[in-house]
Amino acid sequence: MSSESSKKRKPKVIRSDGAPAEGKRNRSDPEQEGKYYSEEAEVDLRDPGRDYELYKYTCQELQRLMAEIQDLKSRGGKDAAVEIEDRRILSCVHFMTLKKLNRLAHIRLKKGRDQTHEAKQKVDAYHLQLQNLLYEVMHLQKEITKCLEFKSKHEEIDLVSVEEFYQEAPPDISKAEITMGDPHQQTLARLDWELEQRKRLAEQYRESLSNKEKILKEIEVKKEYLSSLQPRLNSIMQASLPVQEYLFMPFDQAHKQYETARHLPPPLYVLFVQATAYGQACAHMKSSQPPRQDKTLSVAIEGSVDEAKALFKPHEESQDDESDSDAEEEQTTKRRRPTLGVQLDDKRKEMLKRHPLSVMLDLKCKDDSVLHLTFYYLMNLNIMTVKARVTTATELITPISAGDLLSPDSVLSCLYPGDHGKKTPNPANQYQFDKVGILTLRDYVLDLGHPYLWVQKLGGLHFPKEQPQPTVIADHSLSSSHMETTMKLLKTRVQSRLALHKQFASLEHGIVPVTSDCHYLFPAKVVSRLVKWVTIAHEDYVELHFTKDIVEAGLAGDTNLYYMALVERGTAKLQAAVVLNPGYSSIPPIFQLCLNWKGEKTNSNDDNIRAMESEVNVCYKELCGPRPGHQLLTNQLQRLCVLLDVYLETEIHDDSVEGPKEFPQEKMCLRLFRGPSRMKPFKYNHPQGFFSHR
């Protein structure tokens, strides 16, 4: 059997090696299947488990056979060879079976590999597909977030609030039943409403514009009509002028003045209005006199109106320019250093520039003397200044000592206490001055006029010291409240100065003029005589040895006027240094005495000289004479003469000196001395004519 199977197997191997193409024919031809043996098909039919059993069995058989052969061989014998031969054939058959099994195993391995490969390819394809799908998912997710992040323009629009929207919007837009629950629909509806409203407003705007156009046109027409009216009115006015003149009604003149007044700067305007008003009020009070001729106060405007207009027009521009020009100026100063001085000069001039218009006040006093006041306005400093001039009805002979009395520089000094008019009243000015290198306004007052405080008040300007204000505005009420007192003070000042002027003329000739209504103050016989009356400088006064007290008490300011009087009787010479306050005669002149007689006697070494000083200085009120007291100075001087008489006549006679008394006692005195300081009887009792102690 084993040989059979080995025969069968051989051709099969040869054929399959030799002609592989025949296999197809073999399979497709089922008749040949029985003839051709296909091992591959056989593999499918056979069970691998049984093959394994077969393999095990075959191997065991072979081992047994081998062992039997070996056994036989070792025993040796004759029949052994036959036995061996049988056994050899059997084992060959088993070998053949093993070979077959081996082939089958190979074929099976090959088949298994093919199957695995196929399966692997399938898995790969699926994996690729999965990755594609994942990518797609990711992309879609991105798109979704992009959509979610989208911002709509409508969020920037300011919408009316929800409540308002439901109140105001018509139901066809608001659609409350839909939009109430749905915020999206609600927003849409609100946007609709907004659009509607905006459309309406735009419509309204267009209407207003056209209205405006219409009104402008109307105004144009009316303006044309008015301008055509002006020449006609002018001609009527022109025609009425002769009538006005004839009827003596200065309407036109006043009108012109008011026209000019419009160009005045505010403070001068306030002054002009208030002064005119005051002048008219005064004229009304004295209505018995014909108006206009005898006005005590007349007001006029001087200066060029055109210049003022020119000044006014580019005013707004120039303000803007200033800042620019400042910068420019800085540049130019850098460029042109040598001309710095000239530039500063120009700047100073610019700063001290006054308004081209000025207001003239003419104040007429009873004796027909006139005080001319010219008020100026310093535009850049915002202060007012005044220049004064006094004219008299009759020509005055000017005494030497009266030089300063009516000088424009000093005639109005200290009209109110302490108002010297030398410093600027505007505290802001100091900083302006620092910029251009002006030390004080004092150096310029002669040229510009004096910036007295009362001038500022008449112009309605007030510069409070405690709270500096950025802008000072001219105030009518301030001006009107100061007008009357100031005008009265001005009049009193001029009158007292004129009175002094007259008195000085006779004082210089050694005559003390005592008016008849003051005779009762003095005894009939006064022996001491005034021999000298001269003006002295402030510095000289301060240096006098007997004026120390007055200087220390601060009563000898440099605004006062200073005089030296010399009263003589025999060998006695009484020097009197006089301080004349500008506020004379309400503030009395102050006398300091020095008697040269038997040594030098002043208030520090002689109580009676001190008493004489206090007689004229402190008890001056009884010497004022009739109001307004212009006789005070002369009465004081006359009193000084009387006092010297009393002093000399009551001086005790030194018994040891030979000869008669130089000054026999002529005055009637009750007692010669009194009190601890041995006062002399300086008080004159009028009707009886005797002297007593105060």
Partner 1 sequence: MERAVPPTVPLGQMEVFQALQRLHMTIFSQCFSPCGKFLAAGNNYGQIAIFSLSAALSSEAKEESKKPIVTFQAHDGPVYSMVSTDRHLFSAGDGEVKAWLWAEILKKGCKELWCRQPPYRTSLEVPEINALLLVPKENSLILAGGDCQLHTMDLETGTFTRALRGHTDYIHCLALRDRNPEVLSGGEDGTVRLWDLRMAKEVQTIEVYKHEECSRPHNGRWIGCLATDSDWMVCGGGPALTLWHLRSSTPTTIFPMWAPQKHVTFYQDLILSAGQGPCVNQWQLSGELKAQVPGSSPGLLSLSLNQQPAAPECKVLTAAGNSCRVDVFTNLGYRAFSLSF
Q: Least distance from C-beta 586 to partner 1, angstroms?
A: 5
Kindly list the residues in this chain that would bind partner 1 in the complex (CB under 8 A).
Answer: 414, 417-418, 549-550, 552-555, 557, 581, 583, 586-588, 590, 598, 603-605, 607, 610, 613-614, 617-618, 652, 654-656, 670-671, 673-678, 692-694
* Between 449 and 583, CB nearer to partner 1: 583
Tell me the backbone φ, ψ of residue 188, rounded to 5 degrees.
-60, -45
Output the CA–CA distances (angstroms, integers) from residue 483 to 292, 473, 503, in the order listed: 20, 18, 30
Return the number of the residue (276 or 560) whose C-beta is nearest partner 1. Answer: 560
Element (H, E) at 675: none
286 or 653: CB nearest partner 1? 653
362/651 with CB nearer partner 1? 651
Task: For residues 10 and 12, give the distance between their C-alpha atoms in angstroms, rounded to a whole number.
Answer: 5
Task: Please answer whether residues 669 and 692 qualify as being in contact, where contact means their C-beta atoms are separated by less than 8 angstroms.
Answer: yes
Which residues in 466-478 are b (16+ Cβ under 10 Å) and which e? eeeeeebebbeeb
* Closer of 362 and 615 to partner 1 (Cβ): 615
Q: How far is the CB of 611 from partner 1 (least distance, A)?
A: 8
Nearest approach in angstroms of CB 549 to partner 1 is 6
Cα 186 from Cα 164, distance rounded (Å): 13
Closer of 265 and 582 to partner 1 (Cβ): 582
Euclidean distance between CA atoms 450 and 408, whole angstroms: 9
Measured from the CB of residue 694, what is the shortest distance to partner 1 in angstroms? 8
Q: What is the 3-state secondary structure of 120-185?
A: HHHHHHHHHHHHHHHHHHHHHHHHHHHHHCCCCHHHHCCCCCHHHHHHHCCHHHHCHHHHCCCHHH
**Given the complex with partner 1, which of 490 and 612 has the nearer CB atom?**
612
Give the chain's end-to-end CA distance (angstroms, integer).
195
**Closest separation in Å from C-beta 550 to partner 1:** 7
Question: HSE-up of 248 (CA within 13 Å, CB side)?
Answer: 4
In terms of CB distance, is 245 or 622 closer to partner 1? Answer: 622
In angstroms, give the least distance from the CB of 588 to partner 1.
7
- Beta carbons of 680 and 646 less than 8 angstroms apart: yes
Longest CA span, the chain: 226
Measured CA to CA, the distance from residue 509 to residue 634 in angstroms comes to 13
As a whole number of angstroms, the distance between CA 483 and CA 278 comes to 7
Angle at 73 between CA 72 and CA 79, to 5 degrees: 60
Residue 69 to residue 83: CA distance in whole angstroms: 8
In which element (H, E) is residue 592 found? strand 590-596
Residue 544 CA to residue 590 CA, distance in Å, equals 14
Nearer to partner 1, 264 or 556 (CB): 556
Phi and psi, residue 301, nearest 5°: -110, 135
C-alpha to C-alpha distance for 571 and 595, rounded to whole angstroms: 10
CA atoms within 13 A of residue 567's CA, in its CB half-sphere: 27
The neighbour count for residue 451, using CB atoms within 10 Å, is 27
User: How far apart are the C-alpha atoms of 403 and 536, rounded to whole Å?
Assistant: 11
Q: Quote the least distance from Cβ 629 to partner 1, whole Å.
A: 11
- Shortest Å distance, C-beta 674 to partner 1: 6
Tokens of 128: 């690729």
Nearer to partner 1, 380 or 604 (CB): 604
Q: What is the closest distance, in whole angstroms, from the C-beta atom of residue 662 to partner 1 in the complex?
A: 14
Nearest distance, CB of residue 420 and partner 1, angstroms: 10
Cβ proximity to partner 1: between 327 and 618 the closer is: 618
From the CB of 612, what's the least distance to partner 1, in Å? Answer: 10
Find the shortest distance in angstroms from Cβ 692 to partner 1.
Answer: 5
Nearer to partner 1, 401 or 603 (CB): 603
102 vs 605, which CB is nearer to partner 1?
A: 605
CB of 298 to partner 1, least distance (A): 31
Q: Among candidates 618, 619, 604, 609, which has minimal Cα distance to 651?
A: 609
